[in-house]
Amino acid sequence: DTGVSQDPRHKITKRGQNVTFRCDPISEHNRLYWYRQTLGQGPEFLTYFQNEAQLEKSRLLSNRFSAERPKGSFSTLEIQRTEQGDSAMYLCASSAPAGGQETQYFGPGTRLLVL
């Protein structure tokens, strides 16, 4: 399967712990996005990479969040000192430049529960 993959699919952690999620994009896609989705809402943009460069960060991305894409392939999203409000689905998407019709393809997401 050559779609976007994410690991782990589920994560339960205690408040104050650090967690790290991984995203593997579609291999020929140089653009990678992270979104957060809380219950009953649509996803919200967190951050964007073009190749290895992090070019955009949302104000939602507090200083406890850090994302990397070291070789322009897979990406990691780390949350330090987790809080209960971080409980959400974290979605990764990838795309290739296509002018206006740049379709983002999503992975299955990582569901985080902070106790």
Partner 1 sequence: AQKITQTQPGMFVQEKEAVTLDCTYDTSDPSYGLFWYKQPSSGEMIFLIYQGSYDQQNATEGRYSLNFQKARKSANLVISASQLGDSAMYFCAMSALQGSARQLTFGSGTQLTVLP
DSSP, residue by residue, 43-66? -EEEEEEETTEEEEE-TTS-TTEE
Q: Is 105 exposed, middle or buried (0-12, 13-18, 19+ CB in 10 A)?
A: middle
Q: Give Cα 2 to chain centroid, integer Å.
A: 18
Determine, following the binding rule CB under 8 A, whether residue 55 of this chain makes contact with partner 1: yes
Determine, following the binding rule CB under 8 A, whether residue 45 of this chain makes contact with partner 1: yes
Nearer to partner 1 (CB atom), residue 79 or residue 88:
88
CA distance 113 to 3: 25
Q: x/- binding map, residues 1-40, to partner 1, per CB under 8 A?
A: ------------------------------x-x-x----x
Residues 83-102 interacting with partner 1 (rule: CB under 8 A): 89, 91, 93, 95, 100-102
Contact residues toward partner 1 (CB under 8 A) are 31, 33, 35, 40-45, 48, 50, 55-56, 89, 91, 93, 95, 100-109, 111
